[in-house]
Structure 1
């Protein structure tokens, strides 16, 4: 019985009061939509490669241990692969409105935790997929690998052979879940301690790094995040917007100024948020917002494995600085310092401790998270494949990612690189982020501003269509 890790289980505990902890994406394809029956069959034929997509959660009685994954005896691919159409002539605006509604709905915990919506009848001859998967099942880096099950490397690739017939394994009884849970409560801490005893020198060094990392995280947490329009009680509804940009332009900016592409990404997000604050009548002078930046700690050997292997750092966003170059230098220096401070090591140590924590401890942590003031928003940047992908002969044109909102945080920005582009997905609380489309425009302007300051030729204006109000 595969039990959720402490980090995976924490995403279940954090899901409350409108904060739905699923990651997702909007994928736009060239050409007409495939036949729904054939599309659903294509997905079902590939599920043997990702068997957890046929599994659901089973909760031990009395909450004695974290949930486990068990086969769903009533699995029906038609429940998870859904079909809808937009009224003609539909385009990006209507697609974004639909995505906001889909992302606002919590996944059913009595079934496998994923959905894919096939959306056809876009007026310009394209179609789309809206995908969502619970964070307890998959993280951003692993999700890229799992999505590749759907894709081919050429338009004329042969359809994959279906896997062997699937038969669900019997579900454990309540008594078995209780017994296994009690055993886990006893043996988990023992295994953790044995790991320390087996290699005391390494354990001592790791402990030293972990303590230093925890101290760095504590220092970041004590400072807290400043008040902002982004930090309000969120509701159940969502808006979704996006921006696409030229990856080569970001590389040229990085090369001209020194640093990393992530530095450039955080800088343009900072510029957009500065404009956002000013438009809302806030004086940003002297303000430094704080972004929670998830980072992957997944080893190469673990690529494609399910579950989460992520830690986090708190990155400063100097919205009080008026110049784009000033903002870049501050972000670059701060990110280099964060890597040296060991915040990521501290975050990883916390996730290891979560593996031996009782579920009640995770629930208490969730209550604490509901009052979090550690960061203002989430910004996550996921590297994707830099070659074109195809699905049933149709080319994937755009990949707009979605990161979940946590309580008291009304904005999340996810960035995905694919085939020479950077795709920004902006998820906002429907009421708190009524001006989400204006923020997307601010992001476009911030990209052009930083490129101009770096002496990089501005590429054509990124494609972005303003969403309609619903």
Structure 2
């Protein structure tokens, strides 16, 4: 700890958090954006009291970033004022979805003010008969898993909970996730070896940037080290993703869109009928929507595969309630070239199984730790190198299974958008809440000016999969639940 001019302490930022801090650039701001939709009016004064009591107990939300050479530190903001971070706004015109989209689109392209703590909340008081809370939080403060914990700490399970009441901690442990969640299938094998391996092979990871140009030097590693070495060599030799409408030179303007939610029980039912996981189904719908967008724009998609960088939680059990970034990345090849919905689901499942138990997540976390402690002139080429390997960042976060309340107002729905790094121009976010599944897409305006056309296809792709699954199971006894689901979707479509 060091003292600043005001006599308060400075805390060194971790190397990984520093890496995320320095990824911030005009074409890709490292800011996580989320929206909470409320059924009624959100009491602005009461929300302020909740934030004073529950949010500001996390010291990061009262601290600003100070940079010095290759490092960065946290220090208390001597002029901290909640009013600089909690704002009350009103939408113009009809104050409906188009107006809210315009507001969020304007916000996501505005850099954070680094003279203050790196977060902003906006209360929209006139949205479709209710209220909306828009949150923007810089990635250097924490990763998505930790930030969900923070936001949930502001909520209650009962409408009449007092401001001073302390909510029960919501912790995303491995056993609490869906048993067929492939993101947890990735988490479990790497988490077992994470703590010891990352420390034991720090020297390997510390020299990994130089090894990128000469992977054969890794042959001297031990059996376990060979796993890391082979994974690192695989990344080093992985070809760049193909150029499509989704990949190219970025602008400084982003666009967001969000979907109507899908019923989670119905997604589960389709997955069960096919012998696949929930996320096999969801990721197949994502691949189908991206495929349809490219086809409409005349791109050749037969046999096309594009990769998504998928965050994998590596947070140790003793740091589940701590801020900061504790995740690595794996590269998931999306089968855009597969037209048949059933075949696409099974291909997604097969590819997820191929990367299960690999070392990619540990390696990328180690590399972030390394480059975050090196000069920025070293980090930026490394980030550029890895960003050529992916077309999108894709993340899946499980939200509360039951309705929650904030400052006495019921949360109707949740949405969020994941930032992209380097030259990646698309982010796809999947979030479950109260037995519903939501999709959010963020794109670069220069590459994809109309993300709404992608989002609109998630529902139709799921409907195609339902119909295809129903036909796929006709060899055996008819599935009444699946048939009823298909009829319900057709009725919903025919309703004006």
TM-score calculated relative to the size of structure 1: 0.83
From 430, 437, 441, the counterpart of 2:456? 441
Match of 2:228 in 1: 210
RMSD: 2.6
CA distance in 1, matches of 2:359, 2:384: 26
Structure 1, residues 209-261: CA drift from partner, whole Å, max 9, x if none? Answer: 32233233334xx2221111011222222221111111112211222222322
Structure 1, residues 125-180: CA drift from partner, whole Å, max 9, x if none? Answer: 11101111111111111111010121111111111169xxxxxxxxxxxxxxxxxx
From 440, 447, 465, the counterpart of 1:425? 440
CA distance in 2, matches of 1:53, 1:206: 40
Count of equivalent residues: 422
Match of 1:19 in 2: 28
From 19, 23, 32, the counterpart of 2:41? 32
List alignment gaps of at least 5 residues for structure 1.
163-190, 197-202, 465-470
Q: Contact (CA 8 Å) 1:325, 1:453: kept in 2 or not? A: yes
CA distance in 1, matches of 2:115, 2:467: 52
Residues 44-443 of structure 1: matches in 2 within 5 Å?
44-60=52-68, 63=69, 65-122=70-127, 124-160=128-164, 207-219=225-237, 222-243=238-259, 244-354=261-371, 356-366=373-383, 368=385, 372-443=387-458
Structure 1, residues 364-401: CA drift from partner, whole Å, max 9, x if none? Answer: 434546xx321111111111221111011111111111
CA distance in 2, matches of 1:307, 1:412: 21
CA distance in 2, matches of 1:328, 1:274: 14
CA distance in 2, matches of 1:159, 1:131: 20
Higher RCO (CA-CA < 8 Å; seq separation 6+): 1
Q: Contact (CA 8 Å) 1:381, 1:414: kept in 2 or not? A: yes
List alignment gaps of at least 5 residues for structure 2.
2-10, 167-197, 204-220, 471-481
Structure 1, residues 297-327: CA drift from partner, whole Å, max 9, x if none? Answer: 1133322211111111111111111101111
Q: Contact (CA 8 Å) 1:266, 1:331: kept in 2 or not? A: yes
TM-score calculated relative to the size of structure 2: 0.79
Structure 1, residues 314-364: CA drift from partner, whole Å, max 9, x if none? Answer: 111111111011111111111110114432232233234346545543244
Match of 2:177 in 1: none
CA distance in 1, matches of 2:377, 2:200: 21
Determine helix, strand or coil for the equivalent of 1:409.
coil
